[in-house]
């Protein structure tokens, strides 16, 4: 079994996690609710009011099991990990490359080529799957957005200025999210998408997207750490205290395929409805506890699906793609690959 797929999510409010031999035990109000062997785990994610005993934290650090703490709506709070492994020479090359704008731009360009390609693919797949039932105006809008993304992809190939590349990413996001609502087939007005809102998410769709992006960021960070890269020092995202910039870089290629499409499936298949969301006093919208479990189950199932990786030329579980891309980035930084090959969804 590949460890990259093994993440334990704890969402039960008031849960107490402790160590019992080589097992992780969850108690709620003094009653044992779950017990899981730890030897195949790579990471543990605690969401909401979840408490972890000091002996278990120490054991996880010794065993290389990272522990992340998220707020009830999926916002990252903290992360605990043991001694950092990895090649110091690889990290030094990572730092040198990010400090050199021209060399940094080569990585950023390919990251964005992958992201824009996958955004375009998501729109194209929706048009093929639901084209017969779409209004003519919706099809026209999606066709225009796909063409705009195609032109942006062509411009990315010609650019080597990192600030221009960042600007093109903004144009692509505007084109993509500008038609995202056309992909939602649910009738409820509360499940419509009126634009991206992040901190806090102001509607149900943004709450779902932000929650999925948080889960995916965790997986990207774990993948980078597993190959010896520093997840805090990125190429596309500027360095900021407490921000996993390189994990956010890697996330960009996977957002459309692993998060956006899953969000659309959950809404369009009626697995989530307006009853699964709650509006907080500050105007933010959040998933209910039971609904988070629905999303987590769907996310784990999605990670088990297999897709063909174009560069590796074999079928691989979707959940392993961040690890594959992290390995390819490390190989590029070491000089084994001339360029970083982006993840392209077909």
Q: Say if residues 90 and 334 touch (Cβ distance below 8 Å).
A: yes
Give pLDDT tens digits for 3-43. Answer: 444 678 787 888 999 999 999 999 998 899 888 898 878 77
Predicted local distance difference test score (pLDDT) of residue 75: 64
3-state secondary structure the chain: CCHHHCEEEECCCCEEEEEECCEEEEEECCEEEEEEECCCCCEEEEECCEEECHHHHHHHHHHCCEEEEECCCCCEEEEECCCCCCCHHHHHHHHHHHHCHHHHHHHHHHHHHHHHHHHHHHHHHHHHHHHHHCCHHHHHHHHHHHHHHHHHHHHHHHCCCHHHHHHHHHHHHHHHHCCHHHHCCCCCHHHCCCCCCCCCCCCHHHHHHHHHHHHHHHHHHHHHHHCCCCCCCCCCCCCCCCCCHHHHHHHHHHHHHHHHHHHHHHHHCCCCCHHHEEECCCCCEEECHHHHHHHHHHHHHHHHCEEEECCCCEEEEHHHHHHHHHHHHHHHHHCCCCCCCCCCCC
**Does 60 share its domain with 128?**
no
- For residue 36, tell me if it sits in a domain: yes
**Does 138 share its domain with 118?**
yes
Q: What's the full length of the chain, in residues?
A: 346
Where a domain ends, among 34, 57, 80? 80
- For residue 342, tell me if it sits in a domain: no
How many domains, the chain?
Answer: 2
**Does 255 share its domain with 177?**
yes
Q: Say if residues 192 and 178 touch (Cβ distance below 8 Å).
A: no
**Does 240 share its domain with 267?**
yes
**Does 153 share its domain with 267?**
yes
Predicted local distance difference test score (pLDDT) of residue 166: 92
- For residue 346, tell me if it sits in a domain: no
What tokens appear for 171 in the block? 């144009």
Give pLDDT tens digits for 234-264. Answer: 999 888 887 899 999 999 999 999 999 999 9
**Does 66 share its domain with 211?**
no
Strands 31-37, 15-20: pairing is unpaired
**Does 250 share its domain with 192?**
yes
**Does 22 share its domain with 53?**
yes
Where a domain ends, among 80, 99, 119? 80
Backbone angles phi, psi at 41, to 5 degrees: -85, 145
- For residue 329, tell me if it sits in a domain: yes
Predicted local distance difference test score (pLDDT) of residue 324: 84
Predicted local distance difference test score (pLDDT) of residue 84: 65
First to last CA, the chain: 26
Q: Which residue has the tokens 């390819």?
A: 328
Q: Say if residues 28 and 15 touch (Cβ distance below 8 Å).
A: yes
**Does 67 share its domain with 119?**
no
Q: Say if residues 8 and 45 touch (Cβ distance below 8 Å).
A: yes
**Does 247 share its domain with 100?**
yes
d(CA 52, CA 62): 15
Structural domain of 223: 88-334
Where a domain ends, among 80, 98, 125? 80
- Percent of all residues in the chain with a pLDDT value above 70, rounded to a whole number: 95
Which of 39, 13, 42 is closest to 26 using CA atoms?
13
Predicted local distance difference test score (pLDDT) of residue 4: 41
**Does 26 share its domain with 140?**
no
**Does 182 share its domain with 258?**
yes
Per-residue pLDDT of the chain (346 residues; tens, 9 = 90+): 334 446 787 878 889 999 999 999 999 988 998 888 988 787 788 877 899 999 999 999 988 888 888 777 566 677 787 776 567 888 999 999 999 988 899 999 999 999 999 999 999 888 887 766 677 887 888 899 999 999 999 999 988 889 999 999 999 999 999 998 888 887 787 888 888 877 788 889 999 999 999 989 988 988 888 778 889 999 998 888 878 999 999 999 999 999 999 999 999 988 988 898 888 877 788 888 888 889 988 998 888 888 888 887 778 778 878 888 988 998 899 888 899 999 988 7
What tokens appear for 225 in the block? 């750490």
d(CA 11, CA 137): 42
CA dihedral 118, 120, 123, 129 (to 10 degrees): -70
- Any idea what the CATH number is for the domain that residue 57 is in? 3.100.10.20
- For residue 176, tell me if it sits in a domain: yes
Sequence-distant (6+) residues with CB within 8 A of 322 are: 4, 216, 219, 220, 222, 223, 250, 254
Peptide bond just before 200 cis, omega within 30 deg: yes
- Any idea what the CATH number is for the domain that residue 120 is in? 1.20.120.920
Which of 114, 165, 66 is closest to 329 using CA atoms?
114
pTM reported for the whole predicted model: 0.79
- For residue 11, tell me if it sits in a domain: yes
- For residue 339, tell me if it sits in a domain: no
- For residue 343, tell me if it sits in a domain: no
Which of 89, 159, 161 is closest to 333 using CA atoms?
89
């Amino acid at each position: 079994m590949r460890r990259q797929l093994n993440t334990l999510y704890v969402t039960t409010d008031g849960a107490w996690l402790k160590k019992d031999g080589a097992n992780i035990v969850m108690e709620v109000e003094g009653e044992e609710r779950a017990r899981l062997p730890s030897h195949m785990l790579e990471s543990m994610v605690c969401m909401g009011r979840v408490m972890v005993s000091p002996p278990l934290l120490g054991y996880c650090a010794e065993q290389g099991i990272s522990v992340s703490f998220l707020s009830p709506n999926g916002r990252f709070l903290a992360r605990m990990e043991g001694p950092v492994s990895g090649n110091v020479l690889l990290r030094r090359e990572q730092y040198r490359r990010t400090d050199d704008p021209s060399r940094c731009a080569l990585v950023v360009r390919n990251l964005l080529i992958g992201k824009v390609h996958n955004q375009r693919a998501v729109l194209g797949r929706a048009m093929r799957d639901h084209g017969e039932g779409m209004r003519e105006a919706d099809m026209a809008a999606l066709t225009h957005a796909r063409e705009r993304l195609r032109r942006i992809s062509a411009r990315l190939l010609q650019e080597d200025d990192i600030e221009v590349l960042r600007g093109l990413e903004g144009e692509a996001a505007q084109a993509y999210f500008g038609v995202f609502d056309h992909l939602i087939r649910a009738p409820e007005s509360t499940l419509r998408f009126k634009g991206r809102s992040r901190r806090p998410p102001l509607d149900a769709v943004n709450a779902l997207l932000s929650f999925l992006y948080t889960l995916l960021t965790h997986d990207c960070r774990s993948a980078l750490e597993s190959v010896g890269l520093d997840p805090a020092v990125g190429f596309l995202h500027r360095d900021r205290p407490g921000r996993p910039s390189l994990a956010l870089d890697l996330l960009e290629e996977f957002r459309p395929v692993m998060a956006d499409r899953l969000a659309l499936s959950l809404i369009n298949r009626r697995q989530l409805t307006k009853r699964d969301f709650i509006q907080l006093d500050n105007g933010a919208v959040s998933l209910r506890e039971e609904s988070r479990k629905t999303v987590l189950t769907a996310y784990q199932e999605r990670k088990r699906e297999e897709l063909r990786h174009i560069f590796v030329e074999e079928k691989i579980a979707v959940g392993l793609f961040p690890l594959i891309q992290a390995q390819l980035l490390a190989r590029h930084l070491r000089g084994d690959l001339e360029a970083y090959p982006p993840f392209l969804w077909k």
